[in-house]
Each structure stands twice: as C-alpha cells, then as structure tokens.
A and B are shown apart, each in its own frame.
Chain A
C-alpha cells in the first residue's frame, strides 16, 4: 500500500511538445503529491505539488492533474524546452503533525530534443 508507480521510465519529446508523466498510488491516506525535478549530480528540487481537494494545479508551463477516484496523478509540461531535460520524480505522503515522509516513484528521465 506504500508504493507509488511511475511511468514511463524514459521519455523523449521534441522542443515545443507536451511531456506527460503518470503516477499511481495505493494508500488513500496520502494527502500531498509533489513532483520533484532532479538534474545530474544535484538533489531533487520541488517543481509543483497538489493536495487531493483540487483536480488540477497549474504553475507556468507545469500542470498537475489529479484523479482521486482512480488514485492517479500526472505531470504535464507544456512547450517543453531542452532545459527541461532532467529526471522527474512523483511522490506521495501523508502529513502527520507537519511531518511529510515521502514515498517516491522510480523516476522518469526526460530528454527534450532541440
């Protein structure tokens, strides 16, 4: 019940295209769903996050779509750029007294071709 399944494992997109990464979770107690971006040799950095009381959240070119009944959420990167080439991780957690222990997906390596 603690797993977060992420797909695809890798993704190649043309510049200007839309990148879509999907995640599914099992534990209905999860209440915080962030996406992290990681460049080689760097630590993960928060990109965007959503809570289950909304179905969509948009920040610039990045959008999270959330389907509570299906226990799925996805990241959409619009107008993908070569600088977006990185590994993306979805995660899920349950905030307990302000402490968030993330369960991460296995990551998606995105390459945006110029």
Chain B
C-alpha cells in the first residue's frame, strides 16, 4: 500500500489549453473524491465516485471539467480550455467502508494557468 498517488505533481499551462490529472487511489478503496484547494483556503469538494459511478458533482465543477473512473480503479480529471481562475491544487482522496469516515489524500496536482 503506497497511498494515494497523483500525477503530475505540477503542471504549468497557457490559458485555453486542456490539462488532465490522474489519481491512483489506495487499491482496496472503492470511493474516490476530487477536491480543489486554492491558496490560503481549505479544500473544496468537486466530485466523488463509488466504484466507477460518479455519484455527485459540485456546482464548482463547470462544464469544462470532466472526471472519469473507468473500471473503478484510477481516476482522471480533465479541465478543458483552462482559465487563470482554474489555478489551484487539485487533491484526490480515497476511502473505504472498512475505515469509516477517513479520507486518505494524495499530495495533489498543482495547476498554474498563465
């Protein structure tokens, strides 16, 4: 068990470009969450999956954002036509019923949109 892994750790892109982040959860965890954290703020919920099903999306997740979790394993978060306001740390977390309530976070993917 190596914990939640996120890739890339840092991404710098120009406004209007598309970016994709990947998250590999702890292997036996069936729930996977995406959060966004801006500087000086707490993480904000974006969306979560139970297995491969995306069960809830925050209103923060505009149409330019899409998340997938094929086969209930890793997940990807894609941002299309990036804007400067998308600059943030994107955190992935996973959880299981066995450890009820605890979310295990990855180290995040920091996005900078120029």
A binds B: yes
A103 — which chain B residues lie within 8 A by C-beta?
45
B48 — which chain A residues lie within 8 A by C-beta?
99, 101
Segment at the interface with A among B62-70, B77-85, B93-101: B93-101
Q: How many cross-chain pairs have Cβ atoms below 8 Å apart between A and B?
A: 62
Number of contact residues on B: which range applies? 20 to 34
| Chain A residue total in the interface (Cβ 8 A) | 25
Binary contact track A76-108/B, C-beta < 8 Å → 1, others 0: 000000000000010101010011111111110
Contact B42 A101 (CB under 8 A): no
Residue from the list B45, B97, B105, B107 in contact with A101, Cβ < 8 A: B45
Contact B42 A104 (CB under 8 A): yes
Segment at the interface with B among A11-19, A41-49, A61-69: A41-49
Known: A99-B31, A99-B48, A101-B56. A106 touches B107 (CB 8 A): no
Chain A interfacial positions (CB closer than 8 Å to B): 6, 32, 34, 36, 41-46, 49, 89, 91, 93, 95, 98-107
- What are 10 of the A-B contact pairs (CB < 8 Å)? A43-B4, A93-B101, A99-B31, A100-B103, A101-B45, A102-B45, A103-B45, A104-B42, A104-B44, A105-B42
